[in-house]
Chains A and B, each alone.
Chain A
């Protein structure tokens, strides 16, 4: 079991460029989440998917879009990157809706110049 995997591990973008962060889990979990973590701060929810076919906004959704491609995969897209989106992005998954352990991926460190 690989658990939750994310690609890429590191990325540098110029302002205005677009990119997609990929996330996959092999634990047959229903729910998946995208968080951002800024230096010295906690985890802020960007979007989540309670089950395959559904997505909902979290605390900081502006500038992002998501796709729950199937039960395993949940991608995060930045259409026009801005320096304020420089952060570490974590994907997570859980078996039930928020009431059980969330398993995190290794993170993607994104820098927007």
Chain B
């Protein structure tokens, strides 16, 4: 079936360092890859997305890279700040026009 593996499950970084989360997906036909951020007790919110005709996309301190050949995509957060502490979910558009989510990465930024 369709699935996506997300690593690591937890990530602790020092404020100012970079954080990288990687996801590997199964459906080679997928063409849409969003990343969601969920703060404690809140709803998930989209922070960045990429489509299969683009290899990299950047928005201020966050960037996403996509390697369709290897079927993986990654989220990069630079100059991490305490407000970046949250759970991050990758997802991809699977068959039937729905999203399949990864298991999440809990990021803790230590001041």
Contact = CB atoms under 8 A, between A and B. Distances in A.
Interface of A: 31, 33, 40-45, 48, 50, 56, 58-59, 90, 97-99, 101-102, 104-107
For chain B, the bracket of interface size reads 20 to 34
Contacts of B6: 42
Contacts of A42: 6, 89, 101-104
Given A90-B44, A98-B93, A33 B98 contact: yes
A4 B35 CA distance: 19
B31 interface: yes
Given A42-B102, A42-B104, A101 B49 contact: yes
Interface in B61-111: 89, 93-94, 96-104
Interface of B: 6, 31-32, 34, 42-46, 49, 51, 89, 93-94, 96-104
A102 B103 contact: no
B46 A41 contact: no
Contacts of B51: 99
A45 B89 CA distance: 14
Contacts of B100: 45, 59
Contacts of B104: 40-42
A105 B43 CA distance: 7
Closest 7 CB pairs of A and B: A97-B97, A104-B43, A98-B97, A42-B101, A43-B101, A42-B103, A101-B46
Contacts of B31: 99
A104 B97 contact: no
Given A42-B89, A106-B43, A101 B98 contact: no
Given A90-B44, A106-B43, 6 more contacts: A41-B103, A42-B102, A43-B44, A98-B32, A101-B46, A102-B34
